[in-house]
Every structure is written in C-alpha cells, then in structure tokens.
Structure 1
Amino acid sequence: MTDAPTLETIRLILRPHRVDDYADCRALWADAGVVRHIGGVPQDGQAVWFRILRYAGMWSLLGHGMWVIEERDSGTFLGEAGLLSAERGIAQLEGVPEAGWVLGPNAWGRGIATEAMQAILSWADVHVASPSIRCIIDPDNQASIKVAEKLGFHALADTLYGGKPTRVFDRPAGHIES
C-alpha cells in the first residue's frame, strides 16, 4: 500500500484526502460553475463519496493519485489536484497518468492551480515511471488551457469524450517549466 505524501509550496499544502474532507469536496463538486467544463453536471453526495474512495484506491494500487489543496496560512480547502487513471476510453490516455485539477471559486485567478500542479509534476518526475503525463481539457476552458501551457503541456489531439469536444494535452516526463 502506498500513502500519498504531503507536498508543500510557498502558499499551499497538498495532502491526502481524509473522511472529514467530504463536506468540502461535496460543495466543490456540487457547484455548477466548478463543473461547467468538467462534465457540466454537479455531482450528488454519493458520487462525491465514491470519488474520495477512488482517490484512496489510486494511491493504494497505482502509487499516485489526487491531493487536497489547502491554503497554507488559513487551512482553507481550495480544491483538488493530482494524477489519476480514469479508464475513459480515450486512446491517447492509455498507459500514461492523467493530470487533473479542480478549484473552488475562492481559488480562481490566483495562480493556485499552476502552483499546485508544479509541485505535483515535480514529484511525479521523480516518483512516476511514465514517458509523459497527459490531461484533457474542454476546448472552451481557456483558464485551464493557460494553466496547462504554463506547466509545459502541449496540445496533442482533439477527440470526443462523452459526446463533447475534448482536447488531449501532453507533457513529456522531466519537462522543466520556464
């Protein structure tokens, strides 16, 4: 079994999910603005609970997974970020970890996603054996595309996921952000 390490940045603590994160995670995934570009449908309590359990399972089975993003100074829950395996049926995601980040409105426009993912990708470059890491982003989600590009991801392919246009981005292992 592998436990998620705690990562720290100047402003953030990235830590494993806990049972007591349920209320914050439920509020995050129930927010229509948050999920607008991530499937478009707010999630109910059971789906969020299963999500938290899935996160723990990824760490146990894969040695990587998702972290809670907390503001260092206040302990405020800001969102989630990390690496996952979602078996989405998208050919370009087969065999490589998928990066993902989701933030609550209190974290938007503050560089939180970039800061969190820089720490995660630095960790992954040392601890995850993969030629690259990929992510999928709704082509209309300009904020996430900007984050991905800052992190060294480049557009790899356009495809459909759930019948909706989706862009696959790739970041070679060991990429150094500029």
Structure 2
Amino acid sequence: MTAPLLETERLRLRGHQASDLAPMLAMWQQPPFCRYLGGQPLPENEVWTRLLRSTGLWPLCGFGYWAVEEKATGEFIGAVGFADFRRAISPALGDWPEAGWVLAPHCHGRGYASEAVGAALAWGDKNFPRPRTVCLIDVANEPSLRLANKLGYKEYARTELGSTPVVLLERFAPG
C-alpha cells in the first residue's frame, strides 16, 4: 500500500518522494523546528532515514506519514500521519496508530497544521478498524498541545521519552 492522495482547500497530502529530502533537511536544520523534537538539528543521513521510514510504514502497517505540500506553490512544508514506532515507554502506546505532525516554522500560525492533521484524522476515522489513535507531545510544546485538544485528543498519562517529559493523549473517532 502507498499513501493515498488527500487534498484540502490549501494543501495536498501525498506520499513522500526522494525529492523531499532537500526541503526536509532544510526544515530539520532550523533550531525553532527542532526545539521539541530532540533539540538538535539532524544530519542528512538521519533525515533520509526519516523519509524512508515515512514511506515504509504504508506497506507494512497500512498507514503512515504524508508529505504536506502547499497547493498554491507545490512547496513541501512538512509531514503528518500515523506511525507504529514501538516506543519503549511506560505506559506503552500499544498497537494504536500514533498520530504526529511537523511543519516548517515559516508555516506556523496559518492554520495549516489543523487543516493537514484534520484531513489525516478524517482518513483514519474511515480506515482504521478500531476508533482510537494516540499521540505523544513534549509537555512544553503548547502549540501542539492546543492543536491536539482542538482535534479531540485528551490527556491520559504523562511519562518520559528519553529524558524529555511528554504527555500521552488519545482520541476516539466520532460516532
């Protein structure tokens, strides 16, 4: 299975392509972008591994991450979707799809995250056999916590990922 194409008013969510490497690398080199994602820019080989992982989730899990591009410009601006990262945390996330989103800093404050994640969740609501998804967010990442709350996620636990305090949230599909 490959990523299905999703479109919103302003965005296109599509499968990742090798040509996404350069804009992904540029995004992962920006300190404001990395602030809640480990704190350090990533080298090219790690960004490439993330791109491969985003693509590889689809055939193995039946879900994964989409590349997000702005319709008006065709510019790659981030990624949203679902994963099974098999994180070694307690409490465990189990086999529930883990939602995630990252957008380039120059796109923050435009409502793109809400639009893109909303489209991904609508796809998940129609395609997942069970209604629950989870997400994990750095406790200091107030914008992502607000977005998660806006989209129906509720906190159910707190833990640490490495040495970073994180909030675990869950959402149940409507209906």
Fold agreement, TM-score > 0.5: yes
- Aligned ranges for residues 23-172 of structure 1 at < 5 Å? 23-90=22-89, 91-172=91-172
Q: Which runs of 5+ in 2 are unaligned?
A: none
Distance apart, 1:86 and its partner CA: 1.0
**Distance across 2 between alignment mates of 1:33 and 1:113:** 16
Specify the alignment match of 1:10 in structure 2.
9
Please state how far the C-alpha of 1:9 moved relative to its aligned partner: 0.3
d(CA) in 2 for partners of 1:67 and 1:131? 20
The TM-score, its normalising length taken from structure 2, stands at 0.96
Deviation at 1:95, TM superposition (A): 1.1
List per-residue Cα deviations over 1:64-85 (Å, max 9, x = no partner): 0001111111112211111011
How far apart are the structure 1 equivalents of 2:78 and 2:53? 16
Spell out structure 1 runs of 4+ moving beyond 3 A. none
Deviation at 1:141, TM superposition (A): 0.7
Q: Please, what TM-score do these two structures have when normalized by structure 1?
A: 0.94
Rounded to whole Å, the distance in 2 between the matches of 1:72 and 1:56 is 21
- Structure 1 vs Structure 2: percent identity of aligned residues? 41
Unaligned stretches of 5+ residues in structure 1: none
Task: Read off the aligned partner of 1:119 and give its amino acid letter.
Answer: A
- Report the count of equivalent residues: 174
Corresponding residue SS for 2:99? strand
Contact 1:32 1:42 in 2 (8 A): yes
CA distance in 1, matches of 2:102, 2:67: 10
Partners in 2 of 1:154 and 1:71 — Cα distance? Answer: 29
Q: Are 1:12 and 1:72, in contact at CA under 8 Å, matched by a contact in 2? A: yes
**Conservation of the 8 A alpha-carbon contact between 1:97 and 1:130:** no
